[in-house]
Amino acid sequence: MQYENTRNFAAGMDRDDPLAGFRDEFNFPLPKDGRAPVYLCGNSLGVQPKLAVEFVNEELANWRDYAVDGHFHSERPWLTYHRQATSGFAELVGALDHEVVAMNTLTVNLHILMASFYRPTADRYKILIESGAFPSDQYAAASQLRLHGFNPDTDLLEWSPRDGELLLHTDDLAAMLEQEGESVALILLPGVQYYTGQVLDMEAICDLGRQHGCRVGLDLAHGIGNVRLSLHDWAPDFASWCTYKYLNSGPGAIAGAFVHERHSSPDEFLHGWWGNDQKTRFLMQPQFRPAQGAEAWQMSNPPILSLAPVVASLSLFQRAGMDALRRKSKLLTGYLRWLVEHRFADQIGIITPANACGCQLSLVVKDKSIDARALFDRLCELNVTGDWRNPDVIRVAPTPMYNSFDDVFEFAERLDRALSE
């Protein structure tokens, strides 16, 4: 693609974009001082689908009109409402329908899944994460170690970048496992590293885990709806994801989980009422009879009003198709990278690798005469929404479902203004 530094070029790309119509399916933040928003923060919180409002209002009406009978007699009965998300989740993560379930929130799911898949022994007890992991993953892994009587200071291993670098090398993970693999019980890694935006080689991670007898779990908070996933074929033991980032399901929306179909023993997981087979759930019997697949890991009935936006958003993904979204994303983020490199090469750097990149670019200020935090604050004043991550990264993520090429060009224009003031 031969990019150009003109608004006419961006407008032409938007005219030729087969997904351009999806932008009208979303509500955007309000203008500020007469400036329309440039919203590039879908890696943190996606904007609101208009359909989400409709779906939530529908369930509020069902609650009003049916009360408890809404579990059985509404258009989408609440008893099985979580299954409205099943096929959409399965398509996005590359899984079989019975390997996925909508439940809880991401960190809660990680703990529930680690209760199954972190089973330390005297010889194999360590957990391996990446250096600089998102705090929720760090806290979850460290607390699991403490809960089982181990010391995170020595037993929480970190896969780190090489000296002077920010990115991770799969060869270094392989070397770590050659040395430590027999003591590692669980590998818990992201699909996309939140700070750098680096897409990790998830297939290789899963292969390495199996080679060394380790259980493997993936945090797909920044992966689902962003990059192509093939969980069934890659075969991690488990994965979990939130739905409020690229899946545009609203703050704190219901998360999702994956459990590979090879795991089905009722002795492998904690039991909750909603994880019991639906056929016998209301018989109130003392014996737990697990539902098929990942649904057996459910604890309780899902909050319908939080799940409705997820179902609404997944319907948009099914209409758009992940292949088409990835094609546009590569062009859209590619245009952003090109503009930054061609217009601001002396001032702004990009730490996200071009060959392992989703929607997000992580920008750093190269010119040390520029206060990076002040630059970010000025962009906010100009109604650009990205996000800041300490110590010095500005994350921007044009999202193919609703962002335009003009958004990307306008970001460059406002960045230029912020740098010039």
Give the residue-averaged pLDDT of 313-318.
98
Whether 302 and 336 share a structural domain: no
Whether 160 and 307 share a structural domain: yes
Query: How confident is residue 329, by pLDDT bands cut at 50, 70 and 90?
Result: very high
Those residues with Cβ within 8 angstroms of residue 268's Cβ, 6 or more apart along the chain or in another chain: 116, 117
Task: Indicate whether 129 pLDDT > 70.
Answer: yes
Whether 269 and 361 share a structural domain: no
Query: How confident is residue 421, by pLDDT bands cut at 50, 70 and 90?
Result: confident
The reply to whether the predicted model has a pTM over 0.85 is yes
Whether 116 and 255 share a structural domain: yes
Q: Give the model confidence (pLDDT) of 61-109 as tens digits.
A: 999 999 999 999 989 999 999 999 999 999 999 999 999 999 999 999 9
CATH number of the domain where residue 173 is located: 3.40.640.10
Residue among 2, 1, 3, 22 nearest 404 (CA): 22
pLDDT at position 302, please? Answer: 93
How many angstroms separate the CA atoms of 243 and 85, rounded?
11
Q: Give the model confidence (pLDDT) of 362-391 as tens digits.
A: 999 999 899 999 999 999 999 999 999 999
pLDDT at position 1, please? Answer: 86
Whether 326 and 392 share a structural domain: yes
CATH number of the domain where residue 393 is located: 3.90.1150.10
Is 222 within a domain?
Answer: yes
The per-type count for the chain, helices as H runs and strands as E runs, is 15, 15
Give the residue-averaged pLDDT of 313-324.
98
Whether 409 and 334 share a structural domain: yes
Which of 276, 295, 320 is a domain's end point?
A: 320
Is 278 within a domain?
Answer: yes
Which of 254, 285, 320 is a domain's end point?
A: 320
How many angstroms separate the CA atoms of 244 and 225, rounded?
10
Is 47 within a domain?
Answer: no
Whether 71 and 139 share a structural domain: yes
Q: Give the model confidence (pLDDT) of 146-175 as tens digits.
A: 999 999 999 999 999 999 999 999 999 999
Q: Give the model confidence (pLDDT) of 22-62 as tens digits.
A: 999 999 999 999 999 999 999 999 999 999 999 999 999 99
Domain housing 370: 7-17+322-420
Task: Indicate whether 288 pLDDT > 80.
Answer: yes
Q: Whole-number mean pLDDT of the chain?
A: 96
For residues 388 and 394, is the Cβ–Cβ distance under 8 A?
yes
pLDDT at position 266, please? Answer: 67
pLDDT at position 264, please? Answer: 77
Is 304 within a domain?
Answer: yes
Whether 338 and 359 share a structural domain: yes
State the total domains in the chain. Answer: 2
Whether 275 and 328 share a structural domain: no
Which of 320, 351, 370 is a domain's end point?
A: 320
Is 39 within a domain?
Answer: no
Q: What percent of the chain has pLDDT over 70?
A: 100
Whether 81 and 139 share a structural domain: yes
pLDDT at position 268, please? Answer: 77
Whether 326 and 309 share a structural domain: no
Is 99 within a domain?
Answer: yes
pLDDT at position 244, please? Answer: 98
How many angstroms separate the CA atoms of 306 and 409, rounded?
35
Exposed, middle or buried by CB within 10 Å (0-12, 13-18, 19+), for 96?
A: middle
Whether 349 and 310 share a structural domain: no
Task: Indicate whether 411 pLDDT > 90.
Answer: yes
Is 23 within a domain?
Answer: no
How many angstroms separate the CA atoms of 313 and 330, rounded?
21
Q: Please say whether the dihedral angle defined by the alpha carbons of residues 228, 333, 42 and 350, taken in this order, is positive or negative.
A: positive
Is 38 within a domain?
Answer: no
Whether omega for the bond prior to residue 391 falls within 30 degrees of 0, making it cis, is yes
Task: Indicate whether 267 pLDDT > 90.
Answer: no
Q: Are strands 100-102 and 256-259 parallel, antiparallel or unpaired?
A: antiparallel
